[in-house]
Amino acid sequence: MQELAQRNQPFLASTLFLAYIGYMNRKAEQLGVMGGTFNPIHHGHLIAARSAFEQLHLDRLLLMPNARSPLRMDEDLVDSLDRLEMVRLAVEQEPGLEACGLETRREGASFLIETLDDLQKRHPDAQVTFLMGVDSLETFDRWKEVERIVEIAKIVVLPRPGSEAIAALAALEARAPRLKGKVQYLQDGPQIEISATDIRERLKAGQSIRYLVPEAVEVYLKRNTPC
Ligand code: ATP
Protein backbone atom coordinates (compact mmCIF):
# COMPACT_ATOMS: atom_id res chain seq x y z
CA MET A 1 0.00 0.00 0.00
CA GLN A 2 2.80 2.33 1.02
CA GLU A 3 4.73 1.33 -2.10
CA LEU A 4 1.70 2.13 -4.29
CA ALA A 5 1.34 5.55 -2.68
CA GLN A 6 5.05 6.23 -3.23
CA ARG A 7 4.84 5.19 -6.89
CA ASN A 8 1.86 7.49 -7.49
CA GLN A 9 3.37 10.47 -5.70
CA PRO A 10 4.58 12.29 -8.86
CA PHE A 11 1.22 11.71 -10.52
CA LEU A 12 -0.64 13.08 -7.48
CA ALA A 13 1.65 16.08 -7.28
CA SER A 14 1.19 16.94 -10.96
CA THR A 15 -2.60 16.48 -10.72
CA LEU A 16 -2.70 18.83 -7.75
CA PHE A 17 -0.45 21.30 -9.54
CA LEU A 18 -2.69 21.29 -12.66
CA ALA A 19 -5.78 21.71 -10.50
CA TYR A 20 -4.10 24.68 -8.79
CA ILE A 21 -3.18 26.27 -12.16
CA GLY A 22 -6.73 25.67 -13.37
CA TYR A 23 -8.07 27.35 -10.23
CA MET A 24 -5.76 30.35 -10.64
CA ASN A 25 -6.67 30.69 -14.35
CA ARG A 26 -10.36 30.10 -13.85
CA LYS A 27 -12.34 32.23 -16.24
CA ALA A 28 -14.06 35.05 -14.44
CA GLU A 29 -17.77 35.22 -15.16
CA GLN A 30 -18.27 37.80 -17.89
CA LEU A 31 -21.09 39.90 -16.51
CA GLY A 32 -22.58 42.63 -18.66
CA VAL A 33 -24.70 45.48 -17.35
CA MET A 34 -26.84 47.72 -19.56
CA GLY A 35 -28.20 50.75 -17.78
CA GLY A 36 -30.85 53.20 -18.84
CA THR A 37 -34.27 54.50 -18.03
CA PHE A 38 -36.07 51.91 -20.18
CA ASN A 39 -39.16 54.12 -20.26
CA PRO A 40 -40.23 51.76 -21.83
CA ILE A 41 -37.86 49.01 -23.02
CA HIS A 42 -38.07 48.54 -26.81
CA HIS A 43 -36.61 46.44 -29.62
CA GLY A 44 -33.77 48.95 -30.15
CA HIS A 45 -32.53 48.09 -26.63
CA LEU A 46 -32.94 44.36 -27.21
CA ILE A 47 -31.15 44.33 -30.58
CA ALA A 48 -28.23 46.28 -29.07
CA ALA A 49 -28.20 44.04 -25.96
CA ARG A 50 -28.18 40.76 -27.90
CA SER A 51 -25.50 42.00 -30.27
CA ALA A 52 -23.25 43.10 -27.38
CA PHE A 53 -23.91 39.82 -25.54
CA GLU A 54 -22.63 37.85 -28.54
CA GLN A 55 -19.74 40.06 -29.58
CA LEU A 56 -18.36 40.44 -26.05
CA HIS A 57 -18.90 36.74 -25.18
CA LEU A 58 -20.84 37.63 -22.06
CA ASP A 59 -22.16 34.90 -19.78
CA ARG A 60 -25.01 37.08 -18.50
CA LEU A 61 -26.28 40.53 -19.35
CA LEU A 62 -28.27 42.40 -16.74
CA LEU A 63 -30.67 45.05 -18.02
CA MET A 64 -30.90 47.50 -15.17
CA PRO A 65 -33.43 50.34 -15.16
CA ASN A 66 -32.27 53.26 -13.03
CA ALA A 67 -34.40 54.83 -10.31
CA ARG A 68 -33.31 58.32 -11.43
CA SER A 69 -30.47 59.44 -13.65
CA PRO A 70 -28.35 61.87 -11.57
CA LEU A 71 -28.09 64.24 -14.55
CA ARG A 72 -31.78 64.00 -15.52
CA MET A 73 -33.45 64.37 -12.09
CA ASP A 74 -36.31 66.51 -13.43
CA GLU A 75 -37.37 63.84 -15.95
CA ASP A 76 -41.00 62.73 -15.81
CA LEU A 77 -40.65 58.97 -15.37
CA VAL A 78 -43.03 56.07 -15.16
CA ASP A 79 -42.67 54.35 -11.79
CA SER A 80 -39.39 52.42 -11.65
CA LEU A 81 -41.18 49.20 -10.71
CA ASP A 82 -43.32 49.39 -13.86
CA ARG A 83 -40.19 49.96 -15.96
CA LEU A 84 -38.49 47.01 -14.26
CA GLU A 85 -41.54 44.81 -14.79
CA MET A 86 -41.56 45.65 -18.52
CA VAL A 87 -37.86 44.76 -18.76
CA ARG A 88 -38.63 41.48 -17.01
CA LEU A 89 -41.42 40.71 -19.49
CA ALA A 90 -39.18 41.63 -22.43
CA VAL A 91 -36.34 39.26 -21.49
CA GLU A 92 -38.39 36.41 -20.04
CA GLN A 93 -37.67 34.19 -23.09
CA GLU A 94 -34.21 35.62 -23.81
CA PRO A 95 -31.35 33.29 -22.82
CA GLY A 96 -28.56 35.16 -21.03
CA LEU A 97 -30.47 38.42 -20.64
CA GLU A 98 -31.90 39.24 -17.21
CA ALA A 99 -33.84 42.08 -15.61
CA CYS A 100 -32.05 43.50 -12.59
CA GLY A 101 -33.67 45.64 -9.88
CA LEU A 102 -30.47 46.71 -8.12
CA GLU A 103 -30.91 50.41 -8.96
CA THR A 104 -34.69 50.57 -8.72
CA ARG A 105 -34.43 49.21 -5.15
CA ARG A 106 -32.07 52.05 -4.12
CA GLU A 107 -33.54 55.41 -3.14
CA GLY A 108 -32.74 58.58 -5.09
CA ALA A 109 -30.30 59.04 -7.96
CA SER A 110 -28.63 55.96 -9.41
CA PHE A 111 -24.87 56.50 -9.35
CA LEU A 112 -23.04 53.88 -11.42
CA ILE A 113 -20.14 53.65 -8.97
CA GLU A 114 -22.52 52.58 -6.19
CA THR A 115 -24.05 49.96 -8.50
CA LEU A 116 -20.60 48.62 -9.42
CA ASP A 117 -19.57 48.42 -5.74
CA ASP A 118 -22.79 46.56 -5.02
CA LEU A 119 -22.22 44.16 -7.93
CA GLN A 120 -18.65 43.47 -6.82
CA LYS A 121 -19.89 42.43 -3.38
CA ARG A 122 -22.47 40.09 -4.94
CA HIS A 123 -20.22 38.70 -7.71
CA PRO A 124 -16.63 39.06 -6.43
CA ASP A 125 -15.20 36.86 -9.22
CA ALA A 126 -17.02 38.48 -12.12
CA GLN A 127 -15.52 40.76 -14.74
CA VAL A 128 -18.13 43.49 -15.19
CA THR A 129 -18.66 45.22 -18.54
CA PHE A 130 -20.90 48.27 -18.49
CA LEU A 131 -22.70 49.01 -21.75
CA MET A 132 -23.74 52.57 -22.37
CA GLY A 133 -25.24 54.60 -25.17
CA VAL A 134 -23.38 57.17 -27.22
CA ASP A 135 -25.45 59.87 -25.50
CA SER A 136 -23.76 59.02 -22.18
CA LEU A 137 -20.35 60.00 -23.62
CA GLU A 138 -21.40 63.66 -23.43
CA THR A 139 -21.46 63.54 -19.63
CA PHE A 140 -19.36 60.49 -18.72
CA ASP A 141 -16.38 62.55 -17.48
CA ARG A 142 -18.69 64.21 -14.92
CA TRP A 143 -20.00 60.94 -13.47
CA LYS A 144 -19.24 60.39 -9.78
CA GLU A 145 -15.79 58.75 -9.26
CA VAL A 146 -15.35 58.13 -12.97
CA GLU A 147 -11.68 57.06 -12.51
CA ARG A 148 -12.76 54.31 -10.13
CA ILE A 149 -15.59 53.30 -12.52
CA VAL A 150 -13.10 52.60 -15.34
CA GLU A 151 -10.85 50.68 -12.94
CA ILE A 152 -13.64 48.37 -11.77
CA ALA A 153 -15.46 47.81 -15.07
CA LYS A 154 -14.83 47.63 -18.78
CA ILE A 155 -16.84 50.38 -20.46
CA VAL A 156 -18.27 49.70 -23.89
CA VAL A 157 -20.29 52.14 -25.99
CA LEU A 158 -23.18 50.70 -27.99
CA PRO A 159 -23.67 51.86 -31.57
CA ARG A 160 -26.89 53.64 -32.43
CA PRO A 161 -28.00 54.81 -35.86
CA GLY A 162 -27.43 58.49 -36.44
CA SER A 163 -25.04 58.95 -33.54
CA GLU A 164 -21.45 59.95 -34.12
CA ALA A 165 -19.79 57.58 -31.66
CA ILE A 166 -16.22 58.04 -32.89
CA ALA A 167 -16.44 61.83 -32.73
CA ALA A 168 -18.15 61.67 -29.32
CA LEU A 169 -15.43 59.36 -28.00
CA ALA A 170 -12.68 61.65 -29.33
CA ALA A 171 -14.41 64.66 -27.73
CA LEU A 172 -14.59 62.83 -24.38
CA GLU A 173 -10.89 61.96 -24.51
CA ALA A 174 -10.00 65.56 -25.42
CA ARG A 175 -12.02 66.88 -22.47
CA ALA A 176 -10.76 64.22 -20.08
CA PRO A 177 -7.34 62.85 -21.17
CA ARG A 178 -7.32 60.66 -18.04
CA LEU A 179 -10.03 58.57 -19.72
CA LYS A 180 -8.00 57.97 -22.89
CA GLY A 181 -8.28 54.34 -23.97
CA LYS A 182 -10.62 53.49 -21.10
CA VAL A 183 -13.80 53.41 -23.18
CA GLN A 184 -14.25 50.99 -26.07
CA TYR A 185 -16.71 51.26 -28.92
CA LEU A 186 -18.66 48.32 -30.32
CA GLN A 187 -18.73 48.89 -34.05
CA ASP A 188 -20.49 45.90 -35.51
CA GLY A 189 -23.94 44.47 -35.28
CA PRO A 190 -27.43 45.38 -36.41
CA GLN A 191 -28.81 48.76 -35.41
CA ILE A 192 -32.30 50.16 -35.44
CA GLU A 193 -33.47 53.62 -34.56
CA ILE A 194 -36.29 53.21 -32.09
CA SER A 195 -36.53 55.55 -29.13
CA ALA A 196 -38.56 55.41 -25.93
CA THR A 197 -39.47 59.08 -26.48
CA ASP A 198 -41.13 58.18 -29.77
CA ILE A 199 -42.99 55.28 -28.17
CA ARG A 200 -44.31 57.55 -25.38
CA GLU A 201 -45.46 60.10 -27.97
CA ARG A 202 -47.18 57.42 -30.03
CA LEU A 203 -49.00 56.15 -26.98
CA LYS A 204 -50.16 59.66 -26.11
CA ALA A 205 -51.39 60.17 -29.68
CA GLY A 206 -53.17 56.79 -29.69
CA GLN A 207 -50.87 55.43 -32.41
CA SER A 208 -49.66 51.87 -32.76
CA ILE A 209 -46.45 50.74 -31.05
CA ARG A 210 -46.65 47.26 -32.57
CA TYR A 211 -43.24 45.82 -33.61
CA LEU A 212 -41.46 48.58 -31.68
CA VAL A 213 -41.71 46.77 -28.34
CA PRO A 214 -42.14 43.09 -27.43
CA GLU A 215 -45.77 42.00 -27.44
CA ALA A 216 -45.88 41.47 -23.65
CA VAL A 217 -44.63 45.04 -23.14
CA GLU A 218 -47.26 46.38 -25.53
CA VAL A 219 -50.00 44.60 -23.56
CA TYR A 220 -48.58 45.92 -20.26
CA LEU A 221 -48.42 49.49 -21.58
CA LYS A 222 -51.94 49.41 -22.99
CA ARG A 223 -53.26 48.06 -19.71
CA ASN A 224 -51.48 50.78 -17.74
CA THR A 225 -51.94 53.82 -19.99
CA PRO A 226 -54.94 55.97 -19.00
CA CYS A 227 -57.32 56.55 -21.92
P1 ATP B 1 -35.40 58.16 -24.35
O2 ATP B 1 -35.93 58.30 -25.73
O3 ATP B 1 -36.43 58.23 -23.27
O4 ATP B 1 -34.20 59.04 -24.07
P5 ATP B 1 -34.01 55.72 -25.10
O6 ATP B 1 -34.84 55.04 -26.12
O7 ATP B 1 -32.79 56.46 -25.58
O8 ATP B 1 -34.91 56.65 -24.18
P9 ATP B 1 -32.79 54.71 -22.69
O10 ATP B 1 -33.56 54.02 -21.65
O11 ATP B 1 -32.31 56.07 -22.41
O12 ATP B 1 -33.63 54.64 -24.05
O13 ATP B 1 -31.62 53.79 -23.17
C14 ATP B 1 -30.87 52.90 -22.40
C15 ATP B 1 -29.60 52.63 -23.17
O16 ATP B 1 -29.90 52.03 -24.44
C17 ATP B 1 -28.89 53.94 -23.52
O18 ATP B 1 -27.53 53.67 -23.36
C19 ATP B 1 -29.27 54.20 -24.95
O20 ATP B 1 -28.30 54.95 -25.66
C21 ATP B 1 -29.38 52.80 -25.50
N22 ATP B 1 -30.34 52.76 -26.61
C23 ATP B 1 -31.61 53.19 -26.61
N24 ATP B 1 -32.20 53.00 -27.80
C25 ATP B 1 -31.27 52.41 -28.59
C26 ATP B 1 -31.26 51.96 -29.96
N27 ATP B 1 -32.32 52.09 -30.75
N28 ATP B 1 -30.12 51.41 -30.42
C29 ATP B 1 -29.03 51.30 -29.63
N30 ATP B 1 -28.97 51.69 -28.34
C31 ATP B 1 -30.07 52.25 -27.82
Given a contact cutoff of 8 angstroms between Cβ atoms, the answer to whether 28 and 126 are in contact is yes
Q: What is the Å distance from ligand 1's center to 112 Cα?
A: 17
Q: Is the CB of 38 under 6 A from ligand 1?
A: yes
pLDDT score at 4: 55
Q: How far apart are CA 13 and CA 221, in angstroms?
A: 62
What is the pTM (predicted TM-score) of this model?
0.85
Is it the case that residue 71 has pLDDT exceeding 50?
yes
Is it the case that residue 90 has pLDDT exceeding 80?
yes
Tell me which amino acid residue 22 is. Answer: G
Span 106-137, pLDDT tens digits: 877 889 999 999 999 999 999 999 999 998 99
Q: Closest Cα partner for 42 from 208, 199, 188, 162?
A: 199
Q: Is 98 exposed, middle or buried (0-12, 13-18, 19+ CB in 10 A)?
A: middle
Given a contact cutoff of 8 angstroms between Cβ atoms, the answer to whether 67 and 89 are in contact is no
Most confident of 3-7, 18-22, 149-153, 185-189: 149-153
Q: How far apart are CA 28 and CA 188, in angstroms?
A: 25
209 pLDDT tier (thresholds 50, 70, 90): very high
Domains of the chain, residue spans: 29-224
pLDDT score at 188: 84
Tell me the pairing of strands 60-65 and 127-133: unpaired
205 pLDDT tier (thresholds 50, 70, 90): very high
Decide which of 3.10.450.50, 3.40.50.620, 3.40.50.170, 1.10.443.10 is the CATH code for 29-224.
3.40.50.620
Considering only CA atoms, which residue is closest to atom 27 of ligand 1?
44
**Residue 187 or 122, more confident:** 122
Q: Is 165 exposed, middle or buried (0-12, 13-18, 19+ CB in 10 A)?
A: middle
170 pLDDT tier (thresholds 50, 70, 90): very high
Q: Is the CB of 40 under 6 A from ligand 1?
A: no
Q: Is the CB of 192 under 6 A from ligand 1?
A: yes
Q: Is the CB of 195 under 6 A from ligand 1?
A: yes
pLDDT score at 124: 94
